[in-house]
Structure 1
Amino acid sequence: MTTSLRNQTLKIGKAENTIVSFQEEDAQCPVCKSDKYLTPNLKLLVSPCFHKMCESCIDRLYSAGPAPCPICQQVLRKNQFMSQIFEDLAVEKEVRIRKRVARVFNKRAEDFPSLRAYNDYLEMVEDITFNLMNEVDVAETEARIAAYEQENKDSIAANQAKSANEQRYRLYQDELEKKEKETKREEYIKQLEDERKLKEMEKSEIIAELATSNKSAQTVLQKRQATALKRSSALRQQQNSDSPSSRYSMPTWITTAMDTDTYMKEVEAKDFDPLSLQYEYVSEYTLRENYHDPYTEYLNNNKQARAGGYAPKFAHQRALTSAFTGLLCLPID
């Protein structure tokens, strides 16, 4: 088994070396034809039209201002060139186009009245992305994006602010978890050190008491064990009382957002009416102690139901509430 693992490791190493050498040989500037073999420090950047150029060619062509791309003649600027992240330029192009489209078409499922409308919106976004990736009706697609951005600039800005706030909250949560883990680690180390010191002190006290007392060793040990148990419980209670609440340690911009979201959810739940009617809950009825109900008679002597706190009267009350709800509503015109 050791030999097979060694052979697999050698194969993986050879594959990695092949990939690296392929990347170095393929790294060549299409303008000046410089490559990694003659220029080891060669660094290629990608333009918005997704053509590679080296840094020296970019400085030479675009330091004076905008100029056309030597390959496709698209007007470019120096600050538009970016480092290549993916090896395949097709993947690089798709990722950048999707990021650009997502900045404009950033609506969510809750912004639509139905799932069908949301799916139609996603299909429209995919059509726009496909046209930009494959250069199909580019001018018409760009005009469509510009018109949509102009018509929905308020909702786009609101969703961008919401996404930024969510990102800040995620980063804050990560930082909070990191600090909490570090704090727990320090507390655990301190607890171990305190327990070590406490054991040494108890050991010294036991030795001193055995040397000076006429009591039996068993009596002294039992007394010391009870004392040690009280000390450990008191120390544990102190540690629990010293731990601060995570709610009050949050910054104000998070707690304010949480309070606003909770208030809006309560308002929406209160005003929600699926049939556009004003429901009225009638409470002028009397709930009896016992009903002749064969479906709930077995619950009277059911130990599991009684242990869980359930009683037949809960079912009867729910049935009466459902029966009387909406009786005073006005008919639909």
Structure 2
Amino acid sequence: MSVQRNGVAHRGEEDEVCPVCKSSRYLNPDMRFLINPECYHKMCESCVDRIFSSGPAPCPVAGCHKTLRKNRFRKQTFEDIEVEREVDIRKRVMGILNRREEEFASKRAYDDFLEQREEIIANLVHGIDVAKTEADLQSYAAANMHSIKANQALESAESSSFLEQQSIEQEQARLRRQLARQEYENERREMAAHREDVLARLAAGGPGDADTIAKEGQTTVRLKKSSARRSEEERIRQKQAALRGMEVRKAATVAGQAPTTADLAGTDIDTGLIKGLKKVKAPEPEKPYDPFGGLVPDKRDYYVLQDHYPSSYLDRLRNDVQVQAGGYDLREYYARTMLEAFAGLGCFIEEEVTKRDAASLAASKSVATDSAAAAAVSSGIGP
């Protein structure tokens, strides 16, 4: 007996029978069943090829009138079709509502967003206000397409970086295991070679040479072990340094290519679906480069330098070729003269003298107080 739950049939043992052609997996063990995310009705692969090869067609299951396409059919992942449907809905909703924690003004706002997303998923799974929920999702996706794509790129970059980090750690663990195994093999070979050498020398030596040969053999083995270990450790250290350098370069590349929250400025439209987002301000346009840092050359506060000043003496010099032959320029004379004329206008002598007198008076009082205290201590008057 079939059981209807959320419009999807659950037949128990009859799930192994195609509802269209009634073929059974018991008679055909190679039969593959496919499902479509539109209605999640299961049917065999031959029926899918036969019905949907020529184009979209309605679902052949009785009571289902949804239009299906062949390219949407896929193999079922989970045994329970309800779990399969919920996973698909969750993946689709989280792909649209993929805001990150740093985009919210507070942790509470981010937690409210997570709760709201779970409510939307629950509504779609259990069939509560499906039309309104789908309309809100579609309007939000259309208005915030740029931020959705940017966050998807960030998640993809983080995922690839995590996988690369895992591969690097696995490679380092493999190198450590290889080092331990190589040390064990080298030690075993050294011990065997040392044993054979000691036996050969004992067989060729005299009766009193046994202790000397044994001590020399132990010293030789220790030296060989330390030398082999140092060389192997140095080789492994170089490999690990190369892996770490590659990791740093990849991280820098990912950080330079991944978009940031600042890239989303001025691109999203508030649809009212998500609350508590930060007010992202558009970055100010970069100002043109100023090599003087705001200082305008030849600008003075009290005068404007002219190119010509009437003077009978200067007019004679201006027309004298001998004076100007060495590169003499009257504008330099004008600039120096005007600067000297107006040099004292920014200085207020009275204020400077008042500040100087006040500072000297305070210093003299401090010196007098210190002198009086020293005199009192020396004469025994003070405490």
Distance in 2 (CA, whole Å) between partners of 1:205 and 1:23 is 75
* Identical-residue share of aligned pairs (%): 41
Q: Give the aligned partner of residue 120 of structure 1.
A: 112
The reply on whether 1:34 has 2:29 as its aligned counterpart is no
Report the 3-state secondary structure (helix = DSSP H, G, I; strand = E; otherwise coil) of the residue aligned with 2:245: coil
Match of 2:46 among 56, 78, 81: 56
> More displaced, 31-40 or 154-163?
31-40
Distance in 2 (CA, whole Å) between partners of 1:223 and 1:38 is 79
**For residues 184-263 of structure 1, what are the structure 2 equivalents within 5 Å?**
184-210=176-202, 211-212=204-205, 216-243=209-236, 244=239, 245=241, 246-250=243-247, 252-257=249-254
Q: Give the aligned partner of residue 69 of structure 1.
A: 59
Report the 3-state secondary structure (helix = DSSP H, G, I; strand = E; otherwise coil) of the residue aligned with 1:247: helix
Relative to the length of structure 1, the TM-score reads 0.63
Distance in 1 (CA, whole Å) between partners of 2:194 and 2:246 is 38
Shift of 1:99: 0.9
Distance in 1 (CA, whole Å) between partners of 2:212 and 2:173 is 42
- RMSD (Å) for aligned C-alpha atoms: 2.9
Question: 1:152-187: CA deviations, max 9, x gaps?
Answer: 222222221222122223332343344444444444
Shift of 1:118: 0.8
Match of 1:131 among 113, 123, 136: 123
Q: Which amino acid aligns with 1:156?
A: I
Shift of 1:119: 1.4
Distance in 2 (CA, whole Å) between partners of 1:258 and 1:153 is 22
Q: Which amino acid aligns with 2:244?
A: R
Distance in 1 (CA, whole Å) between partners of 2:86 and 2:72 is 17
Distance in 1 (CA, whole Å) between partners of 2:257 and 2:209 is 67
Shift of 1:221: 1.9
Distance in 2 (CA, whole Å) between partners of 1:207 and 1:181 is 39
Structure 1 residues 250, 218: CA separation in 2 closer, same or farther (over 3 Å shift)?
A: same
The reply on whether 1:175 has 2:167 as its aligned counterpart is yes
Q: In 1, are the aligned partners of 2:179 and 2:232 still within 8 Å (CA)?
A: no
Distance in 1 (CA, whole Å) between partners of 2:227 and 2:155 is 46
Shift of 1:31: 2.5
Q: In 1, are the aligned partners of 2:165 and 2:247 still within 8 Å (CA)?
A: no
Report the 3-state secondary structure (helix = DSSP H, G, I; strand = E; otherwise coil) of the residue aligned with 1:33: coil
Q: In 2, are the aligned partners of 1:131 and 1:137 still within 8 Å (CA)?
A: yes
- Which has the larger Rg? 2
**For residues 94-109 of structure 1, what are the structure 2 equivalents within 5 Å?**
94-109=86-101
Q: Number of matched residues? A: 241
Question: 1:194-252: CA deviations, max 9, x gaps?
Answer: 22222233223334444347864223322322232222122222222112213124384
Shift of 1:94: 0.5
Relative to the length of structure 2, the TM-score reads 0.56
The structure, 1 or 2, with the larger RCO (C-alpha pairs under 8 Å, 6+ apart) is 2
Q: Which amino acid aligns with 2:44?
A: C
Q: Which amino acid aligns with 1:234?
A: S
The reply on whether 1:46 has 2:35 as its aligned counterpart is yes
Shift of 1:23: 6.3
Structure 1 residues 54, 205: CA separation in 2 closer, same or farther (over 3 Å shift)?
A: closer
Q: In 2, are the aligned partners of 1:25 and 1:36 still within 8 Å (CA)?
A: no
Q: Structure 1: 5+ residue runs without aligned partners?
A: 1-21, 262-333
Distance in 1 (CA, whole Å) between partners of 2:22 and 2:201 is 90
Q: Give the aligned partner of residue 81 of structure 2.
A: 89
Q: Which amino acid aligns with 1:50?
A: Y
Q: In 2, are the aligned partners of 1:25 and 1:37 still within 8 Å (CA)?
A: no
Q: Give the aligned partner of residue 303 of structure 1.
A: none
Distance in 2 (CA, whole Å) between partners of 1:95 and 1:133 is 10
Match of 1:160 among 127, 145, 152: 152
Distance in 1 (CA, whole Å) between partners of 2:103 and 2:235 is 44
Report the 3-state secondary structure (helix = DSSP H, G, I; strand = E; otherwise coil) of the residue aligned with 1:224: helix
Distance in 1 (CA, whole Å) between partners of 2:257 and 2:208 is 67
Q: Give the aligned partner of residue 320 of structure 1.
A: none
The reply on whether 1:146 has 2:155 as its aligned counterpart is no
Structure 1 residues 143, 213: CA separation in 2 closer, same or farther (over 3 Å shift)?
A: farther
